[in-house]
Structure 1
Amino acid sequence: MTIHYEESGKGYPVILIHGYGETHHIWATYQERLSTKYRVLTPDLPGFGQSDPLPYDLSLDMVANSIYDWLKKKNISECIIIGHSLGGYVTLEIAKKFPNIISGIGLLHSSAFSDSDEKKIGREKSIEFIQKHGVEKFIESFVPMLFNENTRDQHQKTIQMLIEEGKKIPEKTMTDYMLAMRDRSDNIDLLKEFEKPLLFIFGEEDSSIPLAKSKEQIKYMQHPYLKSLPETGHMGMFEKEEEVYSTIAKFIEVTLK
C-alpha cells in the first residue's frame, strides 16, 4: 500500500499526523513554517486523502504499523511525532510499539484514555448516520461542532475548507476509523512509563475531549510540556494558530537540545 505525504525542509524529522475526517492539508501552514529548520513530513493516514486504504481489517494498531513501515521506507530511524485527535491516538500506538523511533511525541486535542461507554454510543450513532445519510451530510454537521461555538463565525472559511476536504473521504474509511477509535485500548500506562518529552495541548472548550479529562491525564505524565488554550474547541491549530505554532516550535527545540 502507498502512504501519500508532503515533505519539505532539511534537518531532524518531524512528523505531523492529522485527525479524523481530515488530511495532511490541515498542517500546511505549520509545515511551511517548521520546514525552515526541520525536515517536516505530513502523511495522509491510510484511507484518507490520497493514501491507499489498509488491505486488512482496520485497527489503530495496524495504522501504527503502516506509518512505522512508511517511516522505515523513508530511512527515518528517529523522529518527533505530533498528532491531532485521531492522529494522537496513532502517535501513542507508535510510541508503545516502536519506542526506539521516538524522541518525543505531541498530543494535540487527543487522549490516552479509551472511549467511555457514552462516547462509544456516540461513535455508533455516527456510524449509523454516515451509513444512512452519507459522508457529505455527516461532515457538514461534524466539522463546525469541532470549533468553539463562540468563535465559530470567524472561522467559517476554514470550516468550509475542511468540509470540502472531508466530503471526499470514502464512507468505509469514515466508518472503519470510527469503529477503530471506539475499540482502541487505554494508553494511560504508556503515559505513566513514557520518559521522553511529551507535548500536550488541549482546548478548554473542547466538546470532544472535556477539560476535566484533559487535566486528569496530566498527572500521569512524567515530562509534560503543557499548553492550555482558553476559549478553544477541538481545533486549536486553527482557532489559536499562533499560540499552537509557537508551542510546537518551542517543544521541538527543547526536545532536540
Structure 2
Amino acid sequence: MIIHSEETGKGYPVVLLHGYGETHHIWNNYTNKLSPKYRVLTPDLPGFGKSDALPYDHSLDVVANSIYDWLKKKNISECIMIGHSLGGYVTLEIAKKFPNIISGIGLLHSSALADTEDKKLGREKSIEFIQKHGVPKFIESFVPMLFMEENRAAYSAEIDKLVEEGKKIPEKIMTDYMLAMRDRSDSRDFLLEFEKPLLFIFGEKDTSVPLARSKEQIKYIQQPYLRSLPDTGHMGMFEKEEEVYKAISKFIEVTLK
C-alpha cells in the first residue's frame, strides 16, 4: 500500500501526524518553519488524503504497523513524532510497539486515557449519523465544533478548507477510525514507563479532550514538557499557531540535546 507524504528539509527526522478527518495539510505552516533545521515528514494516515486505505479495518494497531513500515521505507531508524488528536493515539501506539524508533513524543490535543463511557456513546452516535446522512453532512457540523466558539469567525477560511478536504473521505474510513478511537486501550501505564521526553499541548476550552481530562494525565508523564493554551479549542495548531510552533520547536531542541 502507498502512504502519501510530503517531506521537506534535512537533518533529524520529525514526523507530524494529523488527526481525524484531516490530512497532512494541517501542518503546512509548521513544515515551512521547521524544515530549515530538520527533515520534516507529514504523511496522510491510511485512507485519508492521498494514502491508500488498508485492506481490512483501520484499528490503531494496524495503522501503527503501516506507519512503521513507511518509516522503514524512508530509512528512518529514529525520529521525533508529534500527533494531533487521532495522530497522537497513533503516535502512542507506535511508541508502544516500536520503542526504538521514537526518541520523543508530542501529543497535541490528544489523550493517553481510554474513552469514557459517555465518549464511547458519542462516537457510536457519530457513526450512526455518518451512515444515515453521509460524510459531507457530518464534516460540516463536526469541524467547526473543534474550534472554540469565539474563534470560529476568525478561522472561517481554515474551517472551510478542512471541511472541503474532509468531505472527500470515504464513509468506511470515517467509521473505521471512529471505532478505533472508541476501542483504544488506556495508555497511562505506558506513560509511567516511558522515560523519553514527552510534549503535551492542550487547549483550555477543548470540548473533545476536556481540560480536566488533560490535567489528569500530567502526573503519569516522566519527562513532561507542558503547554496549556488559553482560549483554545481542539485546533491549537490554528488557534494558537505561534505558541504551538514555539513549543514544538523548543521541544525538538531539548529532545536532541
Answer with 151-160 or 19-28: which moved more: 151-160
Separation in 2 of the partners of 1:170 and 1:27?
22
Amino acid at match of 1:8: T
Q: Give the Cα–Cα distance (whole angstroms) in 1 for the partners of residues 57 and 156 of structure 2.
A: 36
**Aligned pairs for 1:122-161 within 5 A:** 122-161=122-161
User: Deviations for 1:173-203, whole angstroms, at most 9, x for unmatched residues?
Assistant: 0000001111111111111111000000000
Aligned to 2:198: 198
Residue 35 of structure 1: how far off its partner (Å): 0.4
* CA drift at 1:151: 1.6
Give the match's secondary structure for 1:7: strand
Distance (Å, rounded) in 1 between the aligned partners of 2:207 and 2:170: 25
The secondary structure found in structure 1 opposite 2:41 is: strand
Kindly report which structure 2 residues correspond to 1:25-174, keeping only aligned pairs within 5 A, or say none.
25-174=25-174
RMSD: 0.5
Q: Deviations over 1:62-119 (max 9, x none)?
A: 1000000000010000000000000000000000000000100000000001111000
1:72 is paired with a residue whose SS is helix
TM-score (norm 2): 0.99
Residue 205 (structure 1) shift? 0.2
**1:90 and 1:168 mapped to 2: Cα distance?**
22
Gaps of 5+ in 2: none
Aligned equivalents of 2:146, 2:56: Cα separation in 1: 30
In 2, Cα distance between equivalents of 1:152 and 1:163: 13
The letter for the 1-side match of 2:194 is: F
Q: Which amino acid aligns with 1:33?
A: K
- The separation in 2 between residues aligned to 1:244 and 1:122, in whole angstroms, is 28
Count of residue correspondences: 257
Q: Could you say what secondary structure the match of 1:216 adopts? A: helix
Letter in 2 for 1:204: E
Cα distance in 1, alignment partners of residues 71 and 104 from structure 2: 15
Which whole-Å CA distance do the structure 1 matches of 2:220 and 2:24 have between them? 30
Q: Secondary structure at the match of 1:249?
A: helix
Partner residue of 2:209?
209
Distance 2:169 2:57 in 1: 18
- Number of the residue aligned with 1:19: 19
| AA in 1 matched with 2:74 | K
1:6 alignment partner, SS class = strand
Give the partner amino acid of 2:232: T
Paired with 1:119 and 1:187, the residues of 2 have a C-alpha distance of 17
Matched ranges for 1:171-250 at <5 A = 171-250=171-250
Cross-structure match for 1:3: 3
SS for the counterpart of 2:149 is coil
**Counterpart AA for 2:15:** I
Q: 1:58: how far off?
A: 2.0
CA distance in 2, matches of 1:151, 1:73: 40
Corresponding residue SS for 1:153 = coil
Corresponding letter in the other structure for 2:152: R
Cα distance in 2 between the residues matched to 1:91 and 1:57: 18
- Distance across 2 between alignment mates of 1:189 and 1:55: 31
- SS of residue in 2 equivalent to 1:154: coil
Aligned-residue offset at 1:57: 2.2
SS at match of 1:103: strand
- CA distance in 2 between counterparts of 1:233 and 1:57 reads 30
- The separation in 1 between residues aligned to 2:169 and 2:182, in whole angstroms, is 19
